[in-house]
Each structure stands twice: as C-alpha cells, then as structure tokens.
Amino acid sequence: MKRTKIIDLLKTPAFGTVVNVKGWVRTRRGNKTVNFIALNDGSTINNIQIVVDLAKFDENLLKDITTGACLSVDGELVESVGSGQAAEIQAQQIEVLGTCDNTYPLQKKGHSMEFLREVAHLRPRTNTFGAVFRIRHHMAMAIHTFFHEKGFYYFHAPLITASDCEGAGQMFQVTTMNLYDLKKKEDGSIDYSDDFFGRQTSLTVSGQLEGELAATALGAIYTFGPTFRAENSNTPRHLAEFWMIEPEMAFYDLDDLTELEEEFIKYCVRWALDNCADDLAFLNKMVDPGLLERLQSVVNTDFVRLSYTEGIRILEEAQKNGRKFEFPIYWGCDLASEHERYLVEEHFRRPVIMTDYPKEIKAFYMKQNADGKTVQGTDVLFPQIGEIIGGSVREENYDKLMARIDELHIPMKDMWWYLDTRRYGTCPHAGFGLGFERLLLFVTGMQNIRDVIPFPRTPGQAAF
Ligand code: 4AD
Ligand code: MG
C-alpha cells in the first residue's frame, strides 16, 4: 500500500479508509488489552495515534515496538474519541522496519539543550529540533521567494577565495600542502607556489566582493551560502560556519538599503507566521512563551532609523542616569551587544537600524560621508539578538576607495579584479548580509545559535 504522510492524513482525514503510515515511535502506553502508539514521521510536529488491539498481534512483534523504533502500519483511519487529535489509526497490520534498543538516548522527554548537542546526530528526532529544522527550511524558501519575486538573481559566490572581504583576518586556510614539511622562502615565510592553487587561499568570510561584481552586471543579486570565520568567540551568537544571505543592488542609496532590510526581515517573519504555525505554537509553548507576540510585533512596527552618533548620545545619557554597562561608551567605540540590546529592548522597544558609523570600526569598502569621519554603514539591531544584519552603501569612487585601502594597508595586488568595478562603469550600489542563523534564533526563540543549525561548528567542536 502507498504510504501517506502524517501531515496529509491530518489535514483532511478520510475517515473509514485504510491507510499506510511509516514513522518512528515517540511513546507507547496503554493497558493489557489495548495500546496507544504515538507515531511521528517528521512531516509535521503532530503525531498520529495508532490504536493496537493487543489480542490481534504476535507477542514477539509487540515487544519490538519501543520508543525510537521505526514502524510501518496499515489500518483504518477513524475519528478519535480521545482529546487532542482529530484522527487515529486502528492498526490492522504492523511491520517493525527498525528495532531500537534501550541504549537509545532519547527515551525520556525533557532533555537539556546541552545534552542534545552531544547527540546532535539524533536530536532532529525530538519535537523541538524537528520544529527548528522545518522552520529553517521554510525560512530558506521565504528568502528565495522574496528575492525572486523582486527580480533579484541568485548568484553563487565561491567558497574558496584568496581575498579577505571583511579584512578582519579570521580566515580558515585551505591547503593541500604537507604541514609536517612546509616549503619556506629565504625570509622564512611559507612558499605557497607549490600549493594546490599556487597561492595562499582560505574559506570565504563573505560573498560580497563577488556579489558586487554581479550587481554591477545583473542589477540586483543575492547570494545564499555558507561562510566561515575563525573568530575565537564562544558566544551564543557566533558560529565558525554559518549561512549568510547577501543581496547587492546597483543604484541603491542608504534609504533604499534600509528600506529593503526592513521589508526583507518582515517578509521572512510573516512567512514563518503563515507557514509554520504548528511548529511556532509548539516553540511558543515549550521554549519561549513570548515568541509569537514578539514575531507579531516585529511585523507590525516600524523599525527605528538611528545614526551611530545619536545612539552614542542616548547610551551616554542612560549611563549618566545610572544605567550600568560592562564596556565603555564613547564616540568611536564598537558597540557591544549589551549596548545594542539596551537601545532595542529598553530604549526604543523595537528593531533599530543604525547608520553612519565611524569609519575606523567598519570595513574598507563602505561609502565615506562628506564629514570625513563616518561611513554609510548600517547594522540592523534586534531584540534578543543584537546585530542581525550588517551592510552598507559601497564606496564607488576609485580614488577614495584606493585611499582607504592604502590607509589600512590592505594588500591590493590580489584585489585588482574587485577594483575593476570602480574603473569600468562604476555605479552607486549597496548591499547587506543577513546571518541566517541569527534570523532563525529570532524566529524560533531558541537561546543558542548552536541549536538552530543541524551540525554546529564552534571552537573545539566539529563532531558529527
Ligand atoms: O556584519 P558582517 O560581518 O557583514 C559582512 O560580512 C558583509 N560582507 C555583508 C554585506 O554587506 N554583504 O556579517 C553580516 C551578518 C551579521 O550581521 C550577523 O548576522 C552574521 O552575518 N554573522 C554571524 N553569524 C553567526 N556567526 C558568526 N560568527 C557571524 N558573523 C557575522
Ligand atoms: Mg557586522
């Protein structure tokens, strides 16, 4: 018999028909005559209840129906008398596809997130992670749909690169050289001429530079792929491997940019509310009781536009009035997450798009303002998260860009191809990067970024 997914069975139950379902046993309970099995197949957070009249089945088969076992069940779909579900299956035939012994780590409910990270290969079978990973899928669909409908082209930037876009020196090297026997030059530095690419290469920290090339040809593009950062920050907001969405648009100014950032995030959150209702309801109940309200509020409020300079003024004012911060506040400082969250969660109580940062704390490519001190960079700051988006208008003027590159001593000989955009028909353009897992933290209410990506990579952690 053809298998029906549980999500489809529950949508419009055809009572009285005989169906086949396949899935994993979540729980089994009952008495000496009848048992109830909660079966889940991953298509939805909802289980289907299988009613088993024990007298009709072989004892040897029944003893294999344990938590975690995989079953194929044929039976009649009937209206459920018990509360909680509309339909259940009266089992006629049961096949155990895979037994599961009592070393299965997910026997009981209510494991800690820390424990579940140690069994990351099995945690997708829990309700919480099933919900998170289904939402992760839906968010990816939202992102592609949003940009596709706006006429942006999905552009693939390389993962192996010879340039450091953010200039922060946090790259993982890629090499096929024998690390036990490295060839050195006379001055003691490593000779990469024999390496696979004939030069030093790394995993990309951002697809932006290639995205800019594409935007100045296709008009508007976005990348969506993994990026890698070897920053040694063991925080609930940082991964060494994370996914980033980087749109890049020709002819956008700062206002166009911030408008797109706001529209984009709201579209994604609205998509989650529309398409992930069951999973969000579960997370709202079990993980974060403020979740749904927070999602609704973001969709319905205007984000604040705030210059960095004004932000510093507000923070200094708060400090004067007795608010304590761990890190110092002064014009020119890089805002810490506690500062960002003060502005968003306490002062404005809604998302903030901060703009016009001091050039010293931002990347070389950002468009310089006439004041000579600030650049047209934007960060979108979110409740619970802090920075969720970083972006900017790009410096399109060749001479100004070169002057900044010289000032920062960025090795330009490998970047000639990037500079060509400024030599051949340069144009005003802008773009941003959204951290996919930061968006997922917000949408799911999960507390740790390790719990919104299937197999997290963090300092000291690369199992599974
Ligand atoms: O602010 P960032 O460093 O900006 C860029 O990489 C630009 N090239 C983007 C662009 O303009 N095209 O990173 C962008 C976003 C951050 O706002 C944050 O959400 C996320 O990427 N992010 C991280 N997420 C998880 N783990 C990390 N280590 C992250 N570093 C940045
Ligand atoms: Mg940033």
Instruction: Give residue 165's pLDDT.
Output: 80
Nearest Cα residue to atom 19 of ligand 1: 435
Instruction: Give residue 350's pLDDT.
Output: 96
Averaged pLDDT score across all residues of the chain: 95
What ligand is nearest to the CA atom of residue 243?
1
Q: Does the pLDDT of residue 83 top 70, yes or no?
A: no
Instruction: Give residue 232's pLDDT.
Output: 82
Look up tokens 């003893």; give the residue. Answer: 63
What ligand is nearest to the CA atom of residue 387?
1
Cβ of 261 below 6 Å from ligand 1:
no
Instruction: Give residue 358's pLDDT.
Output: 98
- pLDDT average, residue stretch 12-18: 92
Nearest Cα residue to atom 27 of ligand 1: 238
The closest-lying atom of ligand 1 relative to the alpha carbon of residue 385 is 19
Nearest Cα residue to atom 7 of ligand 1: 433
Question: What percentage of the chain carries pLDDT values higher than 90?
Answer: 92
Banded model confidence at residue 85, pLDDT cuts 50, 70, 90: confident
Q: Does the pLDDT of residue 314 top 80, yes or no?
A: yes
Nearest Cα residue to atom 28 of ligand 1: 238
Nearest Cα residue to atom 24 of ligand 1: 435
Nearest Cα residue to atom 25 of ligand 1: 238
Cβ of 130 below 6 Å from ligand 1:
no
Q: Does the pLDDT of residue 40 top 90, yes or no?
A: yes
Nearest Cα residue to atom 1 of ligand 1: 390
- pLDDT average, residue stretch 351-374: 97
Q: Could you read off the pLDDT of 376-397 as tens digits, one per residue?
A: 999 999 998 999 999 999 999 9
Nearest Cα residue to atom 21 of ligand 1: 435
Instruction: Give residue 82's pLDDT.
Output: 72
Q: How far is the CA of 345 from the centre of ligand 1 (A)?
A: 21
Q: How far is the CA of 211 from the centre of ligand 2 (A)?
A: 17
Please tell me the distance from the alpha carbon of residue 142 to that of residue 314, in angstroms, as a whole number.
35
- pLDDT average, residue stretch 179-207: 94
Banded model confidence at residue 169, pLDDT cuts 50, 70, 90: confident
Instruction: Give residue 162's pLDDT.
Output: 92
Q: How far is the CA of 104 from the centre of ligand 1 (A)?
A: 38
Taken in order 286, 438, 310, 262, the sign of the CA dihedral is negative
Nearest Cα residue to atom 29 of ligand 1: 238
- Which domains occur in the chain, in start order? 6-98 (2.40.50.140), 124-170+205-451 (3.30.930.10)
**CB-proximal residues (5 Å) to ion ligand 2:** 390
Cβ of 244 below 6 Å from ligand 1:
yes
What ligand is nearest to the CA atom of residue 334?
2
Q: Could you read off the pLDDT of 143-165 as tens digits, one per residue?
A: 999 999 999 999 999 999 998 88
Cβ of 390 below 6 Å from ligand 1:
yes
Instruction: Give residue 168's pLDDT.
Output: 77
Q: Could you read off the pLDDT of 250-297 as tens digits, one per residue?
A: 999 999 999 999 999 999 999 999 999 999 999 999 999 999 999 999
Cβ of 382 below 6 Å from ligand 1:
no
- Mutational pocket test of ligand 1: of 228, 241, 244, the residue with most ligand atoms within 8 Å of the beta carbon: 244
- pLDDT average, residue stretch 429-433: 98
Residue 114 has phi, psi (to 5 degrees) of: -60, -45
Which of 64-78, 164-178, 327-341, 422-436 is predicted with the least confidence, judged by mean pLDDT? 164-178
Please tell me the distance from the alpha carbon of residue 24 to that of residue 20, in angstroms, as a whole number.
14
pTM: 0.96
Banded model confidence at residue 420, pLDDT cuts 50, 70, 90: very high
The closest-lying atom of ligand 1 relative to the alpha carbon of residue 244 is 21
Q: Could you read off the pLDDT of 192-201 as tens digits, one per residue?
A: 999 999 999 9
Q: How far is the CA of 124 from the centre of ligand 1 (A)?
A: 26
Instruction: Give residue 213's pLDDT.
Output: 97
The closest-lying atom of ligand 1 relative to the alpha carbon of residue 390 is 1
Question: What percentage of the chain carries pLDDT values higher than 70?
Answer: 100
The closest-lying atom of ligand 1 relative to the alpha carbon of residue 247 is 12
Q: Does the pLDDT of residue 234 top 90, yes or no?
A: no
Q: How far is the CA of 293 from the centre of ligand 2 (A)?
A: 27
- pLDDT average, residue stretch 325-352: 96
